Amino acid sequence: MTLLDSLRTPGDLKRLPADSLPQLAAEIREFLVTEVSRTGGHLGPNLGVVELTMALHRVFDSPRDPILFDTGHQSYVHKLLTGRQDFSGLRSKGGLSGYPSRAESEHDFIENSHASTVLSYADGLAKANVIQRRADRSVVAVIGDGALTGGMAWEALNNIAAGPDRRVVIVVNDNGRSYSPTTGGLADHLASLRMTQGYEQALELAKTALNRAPVVGQPLYEALHGVKKGIKDAIQPQMMFEDLGLKYLGPIDGHDEQSVEKALRRARDFGGPVIVHCLTQKGKGHAPAENHEEDQFHAIGAAKPAPAAGEQPAPAPQKWTKVFSEEIVSLGAERSDIVGITAAMLHPTGLAPFAAAYPDRCFDVGIAEQHAATSATGLAMGGLHPVMAVYATFLNRCFDQVLMDAALHRQGVTLCLDRSGVTGPDGASHHGMWDLSILQVVPGLRLAVPRDAPRLREELREAVAVEDAPTVLRYPTGAVAPEIDAVERLGTMDVLRRTTRGAACEDLLLVAVGPMAQTCCEVADRMADQGIGVTVVDPRWVKPLDPALVEEAARHRVVAVVEDNGRAGAVGDAVARTLRDADLDVPVRTFGIEQEFLHHAKRDDILAQLGLTPQSLARKLTETVSRQADRQDADEEPASK
């Protein structure tokens, strides 16, 4: 049995002798590389926190002392040390979550995976401990240097520092990176701290010198204080953390488990808020990750089996992000006013090629989506057209800035929402299922949802042509949907299918939102086999809706909307409201995501669970059309008599 196999609780870890810990660290790294390469997941961040997480669980008493992770993707080691060693289903339906999960373990206090939030949780928990007189408990918050670029983290620090009796231990996991190298003034400050030698060692040398030759005319302790201050000012930059009133320990080698333990014990026993600054290496112990310049294996896909001898590997499918990336570079060549903005996700959102081509026109603002949106508004006011690329789930964080800054000022800001809709294995916090709802309330905003690669390119061009209102383009993750050509154009809408029965009133108008177009076309084909006339339209721009939709709806018995978003307040509701406002009495059915937090699973599995498959939709819509036809026939029968 390996050391890792013998661990079921943090208590088992505490009982291990210190000289066995390097072996355990090696076993954990071997386990992570083997298992995560098989399933896919966040590898680099977890390889970097092995010793740090071991030290946390040896010093603190989880869950009595909550250990909170920001953003949570570095919690795999924590899972292993708290009895969760079956990684075979990691990030798959029924398996372990890729983030902390309250349903999995009492050791997981929070399920956050939106960065820069953990210090606010810690502030609240520490205040609760004080109010409820739990003075012997600590709250531990692990936050990366990347997450510290988010403004919310500094709002929390400001409050934590105001409570000298609150036992909060803040561990800064400083690897110089988030997805990519951390940027900005904070990154420069932490980098300067990394490069200095500890002034405590220099102070010891000064003590020895002073003992040999005491300073004449002043007490020795005053001399030492002056020497310490002089050394600190000379070899270490002014410490912003101590200026806030926070005790600071570090920098410490985060891969020296015993050094980290020693620092954590000092921090625990201090009795107030303390920052422990640990230097770590993302991808530590796995050469391919250490040497991968882009993101040091931040997240990897599942390993693919090697092709058989003589067999050619299948060509890689075209990805939505890649299509956006290529088109924004082309637009940048055509228009010198286009600039890019990212919130610490240059590579994941596809802006890296744009930054390489136009380095003076691309800005990484750190994990600060709120700032990014308002800064984009300022860029637009300055005569440029900013394109802000962000995951759909993180748009939630800057809604106020989109509403009250970009939209209120009628500025031409384009937001490109990657990973929209059902995203799959990253779970509840990463599904981009809210944007089509929350953006409906923004006055003047225009919102496009491309169904395939050609439409993404053309709708992006249409979006950046708008200079008097914010525009939004949203698309999912993964392989691009098959191309579907329009059979005709109605205003700004595309008609994708007309399976007419030749009747004056057709049965079903099916409104396909973006990548759900392929599903809707298959639904139409299935229903046509049953003799049901279906028209499939892609609105292209779902806000505002084209008035031609009303005219088309008037020619059908039933209107149905299929979208990859929460049903409440999204496109389906907008269609129903538009028809009501036009005094059109046509029933509208909406098919989308129920307003609940979806668990992690493959996208196709979740869509099937939600009933968003051709077979399920065709069955439900056939029943709906049949019921409506019966009602209309019953209403018309007395008049004919």
Q: Are 545 and 539 in contact (CB under 8 A)?
A: yes
Q: Are 537 and 511 in contact (CB under 8 A)?
A: yes
C-alpha dihedral sign at 365, 291, 116, 593: positive
Is 255 known to sit in a ligand binding site? no
Angstrom distance (rounded) from CA 594 to CA 606: 11
Residues known to be catalytic: 282, 369, 397
Domain boundary among 442, 474, 506: 474
Residue 582 falls in which region: left (phi positive, over 0), alpha (psi -120 to 50) or beta: alpha
Whether omega for the bond prior to residue 71 falls within 30 degrees of 0, making it cis, is: yes
Is 113 known to sit in a ligand binding site? yes
The alpha carbon of residue 31 and the mean position of all alpha carbons in its chain are separated, in whole angstroms, by 26
What's the confidence (pLDDT) of residue 151?
A: 86
What's the confidence (pLDDT) of residue 214?
A: 46
Q: Are 55 and 25 in contact (CB under 8 A)?
A: no
pLDDT of 179 higher than 80 = no
Tokens 């240097």 locate to 145
pLDDT of 311 higher than 90 = no
Q: Mean pLDDT of all residues in the chain?
A: 87
What's the confidence (pLDDT) of residue 546?
A: 97
Say if 302 falls within a structural domain: no
Q: How confident is the model at residue 113 (pLDDT cuts 50, 70, 90)?
A: confident
Say if 297 falls within a structural domain: no
Nearest in space to 625 (alpha carbons), one of 506, 465, 521:
506
What's the confidence (pLDDT) of residue 178?
A: 53
Check whether residue 273 and residue 329 sit in a common domain.
no
Per-residue pLDDT reduced to its tens digit, 39-91 = 888 888 899 999 999 999 999 999 999 999 988 888 999 999 999 999 998 98
What's the confidence (pLDDT) of residue 146?
A: 84
Domain harbouring 380, CATH code: 3.40.50.970
What's the confidence (pLDDT) of residue 283?
A: 84
Angstrom distance (rounded) from CA 473 to CA 543: 11
Nearest in space to 438 (alpha carbons), one of 456, 417, 454:
417
What's the confidence (pLDDT) of residue 285?
A: 79
Say if 226 falls within a structural domain: no
Angstrom distance (rounded) from CA 174 to CA 254: 9
Quick check: helix, strand or coil at residue 117?
coil
Q: How confident is the model at residue 502 (pLDDT cuts 50, 70, 90)?
A: low
Task: Give the burial string for 36-61 (b: 16+ CB within 10 Å, else e).
Answer: bbebbbbbbbbbbbbbbbbbbbbbbe
Residue 640 buriedness (CB in 10 A; 0-12 / 13-18 / 19+)? exposed
Angstrom distance (rounded) from CA 164 to CA 86: 41
Of 272-286, 358-372, 494-508, the least confident: 494-508
What's the confidence (pLDDT) of residue 513?
A: 97
Check whether residue 515 and residue 583 sit in a common domain.
yes
Say if 409 falls within a structural domain: yes
Q: Are 197 and 303 in contact (CB under 8 A)?
A: no
Say if 271 falls within a structural domain: yes
Is 563 known to sit in a ligand binding site? no
Q: Are 352 and 340 in contact (CB under 8 A)?
A: no
The helix, strand and coil proportions of the chain, stated in percent and rounded to the nearest 5, come to: 45, 15, 40
Check whether residue 333 and residue 252 sit in a common domain.
no
Is 159 known to sit in a ligand binding site? no
What's the confidence (pLDDT) of residue 500?
A: 76
Check whether residue 255 and residue 350 sit in a common domain.
no
Check whether residue 450 and residue 526 sit in a common domain.
no
What's the confidence (pLDDT) of residue 183?
A: 56
Which residue intervals of 582-641 are DSSP H helices?
603-609, 614-640
What's the confidence (pLDDT) of residue 306?
A: 65
What's the confidence (pLDDT) of residue 641?
A: 47
pLDDT of 154 higher than 80 = yes
Domain boundary among 270, 290, 310: 290
Q: Which of 153-162, 373-382, 492-501 has the highest mean pLDDT?
A: 373-382
Is 385 known to sit in a ligand binding site? no
Quick check: helix, strand or coil at residue 219?
coil
Angstrom distance (rounded) from CA 129 to CA 102: 20
Q: How confident is the model at residue 197 (pLDDT cuts 50, 70, 90)?
A: very low
pLDDT of 220 higher than 60 = no
Number of structural domains (the chain) is 3
Of 140-154, 323-337, 350-364, 390-404, the least confident: 140-154
Q: Are 280 and 255 in contact (CB under 8 A)?
A: yes
Angle at 46 between CA 271 and CA 239, to 5 degrees: 40
Quick one: average pLDDT of 410-434?
90
Say if 426 falls within a structural domain: yes
Check whether residue 451 and residue 356 sit in a common domain.
yes
Angstrom distance (rounded) from CA 369 to CA 386: 14
Q: How confident is the model at residue 180 (pLDDT cuts 50, 70, 90)?
A: low
Angstrom distance (rounded) from CA 36 to CA 506: 52
Angstrom distance (rounded) from CA 141 to CA 18: 24
Is 204 known to sit in a ligand binding site? no
What's the confidence (pLDDT) of residue 72?
A: 86
Nearest in space to 510 (alpha carbons), one of 570, 593, 589, 585:
589
Which parts of 539-622 are beta strand (E)?
A: 541-543, 556-566, 588-593
Indicate the DSSP class of residue 360.
Answer: G
Quick one: average pLDDT of 504-508?
80
Q: Which two tokens stand for residue 134?
A: 């739990």
Per-residue pLDDT reduced to its tens digit, 549-607 = 999 999 999 999 999 999 999 999 999 999 999 999 999 999 999 888 888 888 888 99
Q: Are 6 and 264 in contact (CB under 8 A)?
A: no
What does 376-443 look like in DSSP terms, one character per residue?
A: HHHHHHTT-EEEEEEEHHHHGGGHHHIIIIIITTT---EEEEES-B---TT-TTT-B-SHHHHGGGST
Check whether residue 284 and residue 358 sit in a common domain.
no
Angstrom distance (rounded) from CA 152 to CA 367: 10
Quick one: average pLDDT of 8-15?
94
Check whether residue 355 and residue 450 sit in a common domain.
yes
Domain containing 396: what range?
320-474
Q: Report the predicted TM-score, pTM, of the whole model to 2 decimal places.
A: 0.80
Which has the higher per-residue pLDDT, 306 or 471? 471
Strand partners, 337: none
Domain harbouring 501, CATH code: 3.40.50.920
- The rounded percent of the chain whose pLDDT value lies above 70 is 86
What's the confidence (pLDDT) of residue 630?
A: 80
Which has the higher per-residue pLDDT, 203 or 94? 94
Angstrom distance (rounded) from CA 391 to CA 316: 22
Q: How confident is the model at residue 100 (pLDDT cuts 50, 70, 90)?
A: confident
Check whether residue 174 and residue 28 sit in a common domain.
yes
For residue 62, report the phi and psi dihedrals to the nearest 5 degrees: -75, 140
pLDDT of 367 higher than 60 = yes
Domain boundary among 441, 474, 507: 474
Check whether residue 247 and residue 327 sit in a common domain.
no
Per-residue pLDDT reduced to its tens digit, 551-562 = 999 999 999 999
Is 25 known to sit in a ligand binding site? no
Say if 165 falls within a structural domain: yes
Say if 187 falls within a structural domain: yes
Check whether residue 274 and residue 371 sit in a common domain.
no
Is 420 known to sit in a ligand binding site? no
Check whether residue 333 and residue 255 sit in a common domain.
no
pLDDT of 217 higher than 50 = no
529's CB contacts (< 8 A; 6+ apart) are: none
Angstrom distance (rounded) from CA 296 to CA 45: 8
Q: How far is CA 219 from CA 68, 207, 214, 313, 600, in A?
A: 45, 13, 9, 77, 65
pLDDT of 210 higher than 60 = no
Q: How confident is the model at residue 542 (pLDDT cuts 50, 70, 90)?
A: very high
Nearest in space to 198 (alpha carbons), one of 240, 252, 278:
252
